[in-house]
Amino acid sequence: ETGVTQTPRHLVMGMTNKKSLKCEQHLGHNAMYWYKQSAKKPLELMFVYNFKEQTENNSVPSRFSPECPNSSHLFLHLHTLQPEDSALYLCASSQGPTTGGFGYEQYFGPGTRLTVT
Amino acid sequence: AQSVTQLDSHVSVSEGTPVLLRCNYSSSYSPSLFWYVQHPNKGLQLLLKYTSAATLVKGINGFEAEFKKSETSFHLTKPSAHMSDAAEYFCVVSRSNTGNQFYFGTGTSLTVIP
C-alpha cells in the first residue's frame, strides 16, 4: 500500500449506531488530519494531530471522537450521528508542523462516503 | 487571517483551448499556496505548490500557476485542455507561521467540451 488509505470507502449507518473510520498513511509523515466535505461547502478541517497529539479541534461536535494511536494511524469514532453529518470524510497527512516557515503539502486519502439514515 | 476566494464556481472550455482558474488569497503572513484537483469519487491530488521560491510554479499534467503578491492572486492555467482535466479544483492557502492548517476555497468545477 502506498500513500494514504481509508476504510471503509462507503458507510451507511443509523442515528443510533456506533462506527469507526480508519486512516493509514505510508509516507512517514507526523501530522494527520480529518476533513469533512459536504456538497456546496468548502472543506472543513475537523481535527489535526501532530506527533500523535491533537493540536486542533475546530468546534467539532462530541459525537465525533478522533483517536491517533501512532503517527501512521488515525481513527474517527462516530456515535449518535445526525442526517446532516452525511458527507465525504477525508483523511490527510503531511510533514510538519513548521514554525515561521512554509506550509507542507498535505496528501489525501480517497475518503469515506458516509450516509446517516 | 487567511482565506481564499475562487472567483468562478464553474468554468467550461473546449478541448484544446486554454484553461484559467482564478484564485485570490488573503493572508496575514507570507503565504504558502497550493492547487489541488479532485476527480469524482476520489480524494484530492496535489497539482502544484508555491512556498516563496519562484513565483511561476509548474505542476503536474501541464498546469502552472503564478504568484502575484501585488494582486494577491494565484491563478491556475494550462495551455491546452484535455478531456481528463474535467474535475473540481481547489485553491488552498496555509497558515505559514505554523504551517499545517489549510484554508480551502469553495472549488471550481471545470467542464471540458469535446
Is the Cβ–Cβ distance between A106 and A94 less than 8 Å? yes
Average pLDDT over residues A62-82: 94
CB–CB of B32 and A110 under 8 A?
Answer: no
Q: Does A41 touch chain B if contact means CB atoms closer than 8 Å?
A: yes
Distance in angstroms (rounded) separating the CA atoms of residues B43 and B48: 16
Return the closest-CA partner of residue B30 out of B61, B2, B63, B64: B2
A50 pLDDT more than 50: yes
Q: Does B32 touch chain A if contact means CB atoms closer than 8 Å?
A: yes
pLDDT for the residue numbered B100: 65
pLDDT for the residue numbered A100: 46
pLDDT for the residue numbered B51: 80
CB–CB of B102 and A106 under 8 A?
Answer: yes
Is the Cβ–Cβ distance between B90 and B35 less than 8 Å? yes
CB–CB of B99 and A111 under 8 A?
Answer: no
Average pLDDT over residues A28-38: 92
Out of A5-9, A14-18, A65-69, A84-88, pick the least confident.
Answer: A14-18
In chain A, pLDDT over 90 holds for what percent of residues?
Answer: 64
CB–CB of A107 and B97 under 8 A?
Answer: no
Give per-residue pLDDT as tens, A79-104: 999 999 999 999 999 886 655 445 68
A3 pLDDT more than 60: yes
Q: What is the mean pLDDT of chain A?
A: 89
pLDDT for the residue numbered B90: 96
**Nearest-CB residue to B99 (from A4, A56, A104):** A104
pLDDT for the residue numbered A101: 47
Q: Which of A102, A107, A108 to mutate to test the interface with B (most CBs of B within 10 A)?
A: A102
The residue of chain B with its CA nearest to that of A40 is B106
The residue of chain A with its CA nearest to that of B31 is A102
Mean pLDDT, contiguous 10-residue spans, chain B (114 residues): 90 98 88 92 91 87 94 96 97 72 90 96
Residue A81: all three cell numbers together: 450521528
